[in-house]
């Protein structure tokens, strides 16, 4: 034994965890404890503040239900979810488009559409065309790549937030043609607020943040031999494009609908043209792990209610 | 707006929180986000690991009830609770005895005893004497200082863990005499396990830790004009004295019962002599805050079930 003080306690704690059998889990927990202690030391955390923290985390956990994931929301508004996505991006092999948060509104088995069809089957709004290519890292079109797309309506609501939540709308699955092209129609989505009625909403208010996400369209792209890409396109001109509460927006994903594009399959519609690039699948040599499996992330994200 | 990458996202997040009106809250959240992001970067946290973390925190929150505080327990086993106590110790004015975790078994309004009486009113065991002084930072006895004491029985159970949980036993309140002396009788306590049936128990098992606390006696001492002291004495010889799962043990708080002490008020009983030192109350000039109010900590700690 030794004398424990506010400096030595970190080593004492790490020593007690040193028998952890899983080396990756050991590494993660060691780093977690070091950073947790460094945080407490840096701010000289008082017992009262510690207690407030205990109460906050408890409230976040108690807010979670089968249809709401307040801890994912907390991770989102602290920038952790976006950071984890960005770190994962770097672990791929070859160039690919930037990723963005999957969010809680993804649904598996969305209806399959033919190229050119509209995903707005129940909603009216300002019609837009979405088109471009799905390319490999060398710029070659990927034929029969799968594109899943989902978005809000003009009010900022996803289908699952409406009275008829079971009926899918404004989402669908497409396959690229033999040259890797995709083209479809939809309506312009709108931005929306994260859920503000729980402990994370209280945090956002205390930080004087607006709690809004700018208007965006989600994409999940994949093809055999390529790494899945979870991303979103953000509509330029949204007043919150520069202050997304969950930090999903980056320059390369901001798009401005063009009024006229002779090359568009729908020259009379405002259009958003975007070429997505997928990197090749395969074991990442640097970290020894393969790319993330979005289906796992999906399962928890689907339970996150109005999280992102 | 700017391009967000895994390095710049931290500044982007801090910028969005920069309007926080409470300066202390702003400082704490800024440090929390910086350390959280640094942790994720250091271990290159994968989406799957992030998801495991979300699940773990959610489970901890859902385990909390009116009589069990799993987040306090998590804080305890990561060494955070002890660290916060140690940091708080440093903020006092003048020398005082080391503190230790209050734990979840403190009860207000424990029965008042006269000096010399035994707190073991319903329990049998190996009788011991507890005696010494309550001193100020200058070594002068503090008359009529209040001493609250609580402990387990020989089986490692507190009164509130037994079938007759409402009936107090092995706890009591004493006042020092005119020279600051205290003396009372009890029975030797035993060590015990933290609750291992929740997510924190799973963590402890994955880390190959025993999850045990060594035998100890809790003290809460106070007197008008002095800062309250929450501490505990740990019984030398307990096999887990060097590996307390919640890091409450420090050298200065380890005591060995003496078989013979002619100066003891009970020379025929094994005795634990300990002089406690209280520091003077008052606003801490360094940090601008007063000493912690244990009664607040008590309220949450009381809901922590078998936490410490």
Q: Which of B59, B62, B289 minimises the CB distance to A46?
A: B289
Query: What was the pLDDT predicted at B246?
Result: 96
Query: What was the pLDDT predicted at A1?
Result: 56
For range A110-139, the mean pLDDT? 96
Report the gap between the CA of A134 and the closest CA in chain B (Å): 22
- The Cα–Cα gap between B241 and B233 comes to 11
Chain B CB contacts of A243 below 8 Å: 16
Q: Which of B88, B72, B67, B147 is nearest to B308 (CA)?
A: B72
A292: pLDDT strictly greater than 80: no
pLDDT band at A15 (very low <50, low <70, confident <90, very high): very high
A284: pLDDT strictly greater than 50: no
Query: What was the pLDDT predicted at B302?
Result: 44
Name the more confident of A295 and B6.
B6
Q: Which helix (H) or strand (E) holds A12?
A: helix A9-16
Q: Which of A277, A301, A57 is nearest to B69 (CA)?
A: A57
Query: What was the pLDDT predicted at A308?
Result: 37
For an interface test with B, the pick among A65, A80, A296 (most B C-beta atoms closer than 10 Å) comes out as A80
Which ipTM score applies to this complex?
A: 0.86
Query: What was the pLDDT predicted at B102?
Result: 87
Q: Minimal Cα distance from A100: which residue of B?
A: B4
Q: Which of A64, A26, A61, A20 is nearest to B70 (CA)?
A: A61
Chain A CB contacts of B85 below 8 Å: 47
Mean pLDDT by 10 residues, chain B (308 residues): 85 97 97 98 95 96 89 96 92 85 88 98 94 96 98 94 88 98 97 95 97 97 93 96 95 92 91 96 47 44 40
pLDDT band at A3 (very low <50, low <70, confident <90, very high): confident
- The Cα–Cα gap between B268 and B8 comes to 69
CB A181 within 8 A of CB A131: yes
B 222-261 → A contacts, CB under 8 A: 241-243, 245, 247, 249-252, 254
> Average pLDDT over chain A, rounded to whole?
89
For range A79-96, the mean pLDDT? 89
Q: Is A114 at the interface with chain B, CB within 8 A?
A: no
Question: The tokens of A293 are what?
Answer: 């499996």
Query: What was the pLDDT predicted at A293?
Result: 44
Name the more confident of B142 and A105.
B142
Q: Is B205 at the interface with chain A, CB within 8 A?
A: no
For range A35-54, the mean pLDDT? 96
Percent of chain A, pLDDT > 90? 77
For an interface test with B, the pick among A14, A15, A18, A32 (most B C-beta atoms closer than 10 Å) comes out as A32
Query: What was the pLDDT predicted at A94?
Result: 82
pLDDT band at A181 (very low <50, low <70, confident <90, very high): very high
């Amino acid at each position: 034994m030794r004398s424990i003080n506010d400096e030595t306690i970190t080593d004492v704690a790490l020593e007690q965890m040193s028998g952890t059998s899983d080396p990756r889990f050991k590494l993660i927990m060691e780093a977690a404890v070091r950073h947790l202690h460094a945080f407490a030391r840096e701010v000289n955390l008082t017992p009262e503040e510690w207690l407030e923290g205990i109460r906050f985390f408890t409230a976040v956990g108690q807010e979670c239900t089968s249809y709401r994931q307040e801890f994912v929301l907390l991770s989102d508004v602290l920038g952790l979810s976006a950071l984890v996505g960005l770190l994962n991006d770097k672990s791929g092999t070859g160039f690919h488009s930037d990723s963005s948060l999957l969010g809680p509104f993804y649904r598996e088995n969305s209806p399959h559409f033919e190229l050119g069809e509209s995903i707005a089957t129940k909603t009216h709004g300002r019609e837009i065309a979405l088109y471009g290519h799905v390319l490999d890292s060398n710029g070659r079109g990927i034929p029969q790549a799968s594109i899943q797309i989902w978005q809000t309506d003009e009010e900022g609501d996803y289908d699952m937030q409406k009275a008829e939540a079971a009926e899918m709308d404004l989402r669908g699955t497409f396959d690229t043609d033999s040259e890797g092209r995709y083209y479809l129609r939809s309506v312009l989505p709108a931005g929306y607020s994260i859920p503000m009625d729980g402990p994370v909403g209280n945090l956002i208010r205390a930080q004087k943040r607006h709690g809004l996400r700018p208007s965006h369209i989600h994409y999940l792209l994949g093809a055999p031999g390529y790494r899945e890409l979870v991303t979103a396109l953000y509509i330029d001109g949204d007043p919150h494009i520069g202050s997304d509460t969950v930090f999903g927006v980056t320059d390369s994903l901001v798009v401005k609908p063009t009024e006229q594009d002779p090359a568009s399959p729908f020259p009379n519609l405002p259009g958003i043209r975007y070429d997505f690039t997928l990197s090749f699948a395969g074991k990442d040599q640097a970290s020894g792990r393969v790319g993330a499996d979005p289906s796992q992330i999906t399962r928890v994200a689907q339970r996150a209610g109005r999280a992102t």
